[in-house]
Chains A and B, each alone.
Chain A
């Protein structure tokens, strides 16, 4: 090599610092941190509404969840280092999402257990962000709900709260009185989050604003929330048509009551637990929406969003088999 170099050339002695790598050398600029930033931004309206309605209490729950989650994440990261760095902000996003699911006045230990279940079991046990089959937040909420039904009771938690709205969760009331429930809950109240729920999971309008933001910046594909809502509405129309008159409320009520908006934009759309192809996403959303409505109509769990999405997530490996054929496959003979 050296022989063909120019003999008199002072630039030879200069050392080049060229970086070598494989293409593409341009990237879209995305990163996990930026993605999490978008999710947090999208959660901000709902969290803000929660602070407006519940004041210091909401602040306490959100802050405690974030602090506990980060501490647990950092501790596990120290014990078992992985590429799911604590600094990638996922624990913060998940913590805020979990906090919005917490009942008003949740005790600190409930939050601690929730954070432990979410980060420790839901996320880290499966290998960190991206490794799990079930959404850590939903898994933690499901475990809390089943383990402490009394503590995780939104109606009981808000019983003494000075509140203009009806003092019972709309979906719980619907389970006992059927379609008549609609007259007790004006849709404007439901939309604004003036309904008994956890501290943030029913701030429908504000969740919608955040969710639309996520869709518009293409953080999440539009197919998922749309098909989820479609599945829910279609199933509610179907069960209304098949059931006795007055047994079920209108689709609008099912859309606005409880955490459907939260689920549609923040949990069905989760990157890891949703399928990848466009058609597969539509199937998954429809399945989740259908399951949510079926659970609402025919089971002891009145909200159904958590369990509906968890069940649909279990079917994702199967749904993911719906894929377009590969173009240009085949090895020349």
Chain B
């Protein structure tokens, strides 16, 4: 009876989590992806059989961005693997041969043209200046440096199960402050925003108030969606399909701010990253630092999680995460893993649309989802275009509230791709 009465409409709220970062041991092997389709690709700098040290460049992009070995070992192969975004892409597979773990000492090269700081960042593998997550980054765009007027540093992740940024702000406030100062040097005159969780409001204002303007985000998912927070902070409208940089806005997660800081101050390459592991059966989310390219199974094994208890494996969070076919997928730029227990895996019901309009009222972009969904269902994509399906950035709130449990995000995506064709 209680289940009939309960209602949640603003999306999920954060789960509880362990403070602190758990350092992962070096795994047996890592796969360093050499291509992120649509974003960047690297040409291999090493051959199969070569011995590499941690931090040694193994790939370089046409403009001089480097990608590094994240562990010491032997390059087993240049092979193709499934990326967490479900692309089949080339990767350098490095086997941990049990030897001593050494840091690379040689010269790195790379960097391409541009100011010193940019060449340093490229050589450290912190991709390009205003990119970093990859979602917004097209390598060719970096040729003329964009004029950045607003920088948004994400100190809180939109997904309610990912805490990497929150934890890093707490554990390394000095480096975050240095990073913010670095950003101010790189983008003089730009307004720098730092988003923080509600619980951290007072502390963040005291700690980072001098370096950045603090934006407090609410606990519910709806108030944290990046594509809505960023235009609000920047004070301008940004089309959802456009890159932020086109509007003079740069968005970087706190973790990349730290990577930039490390690269600029110590020349340290970007070879390890944090990920929050959360799940239906996990009491609290755990954050782990892993060498880039570590297979998901190694990360789960380090936490004593057996794949037998997992029904669906997501890279990302429960709202936008991408379901994986296998636990061998190497993790590269993901901030989160979410494990759905087998009994919590939802079947797609796809009952008929009852026109209740909850999707439209939930949509942060004010798209008339109920109409787009009906048109798309009957193949009337041209009609559906009138309702601006292209503004959808797949936050998932429409499907979250849908009582018919329709695959609304798929329908929106179908509509966008059909409309573009």
Contact = CB atoms under 8 A, between A and B. Distances in A.
Interface of A: 1, 3-6, 11, 14, 16-32, 34-35, 37-38, 41, 82-85, 88, 127-131, 217-219, 221, 271-278, 323-332
Interface string B381-421: 00000011011011011011111110101100100000010
Contacts of A324: 366
B79 to A, nearest CB: 5
A217 B231 CA distance: 33
Nearest to A213: B5
A331 B391 CA distance: 8
Interface string B66-80: 000000000011011
Categorize the interface residue count of chain B.
35 or more
10 contacts: A21-B323, A25-B319, A25-B323, A27-B399, A30-B402, A38-B5, A326-B366, A327-B391, A328-B227, A328-B238
A83 B409 contact: no
Interface of B: 3-9, 12, 28-29, 31, 76-77, 79-81, 93, 227-228, 231, 237-243, 246, 297, 307, 310-314, 316, 318-328, 338, 340, 342, 345-346, 348-357, 360-361, 364-368, 370, 387-388, 390-391, 393-394, 396-397, 399-405, 407, 409-410, 413, 420
Nearest to A324: B366
Given A1-B81, A328-B391, A330-B239, A26 B12 contact: yes
A19 B353 contact: no
Contacts of A16: 307, 326-327
Q: Which 9 A-B pairs have the closest CB atoms?
A: A276-B357, A24-B396, A328-B240, A130-B354, A271-B356, A332-B242, A30-B403, A330-B239, A329-B388
A129 B352 contact: yes
A25 B314 contact: yes
Given A329-B239, A331-B390, A31 B405 contact: yes
A22 B406 CA distance: 11
A274 B356 CA distance: 8
Contacts of B355: 130, 271-273, 276
Contacts of B310: 18
Contacts of B407: 22
Nearest to B387: A326
Contacts of B409: 22-24
Given A6-B28, A29-B6, A30-B401, A23 B351 contact: no
Given A18-B313, A26-B400, A324-B366, A83 B242 contact: no
A28 B260 CA distance: 39
Contacts of B364: 327
Contacts of B397: 24
Nearest to A218: B7
A328 B324 contact: no
Given A4-B31, A25-B321, A328-B238, A276 B354 contact: no
Nearest to B392: A328
A4 to B, nearest CB: 5
A22 B318 CA distance: 10
Given A16-B327, A329-B240, A330-B242, 14 more contacts: A1-B81, A4-B93, A18-B326, A21-B346, A23-B314, A26-B400, A28-B7, A28-B9, A82-B352, A85-B351, A272-B356, A326-B367, A328-B240, A329-B239
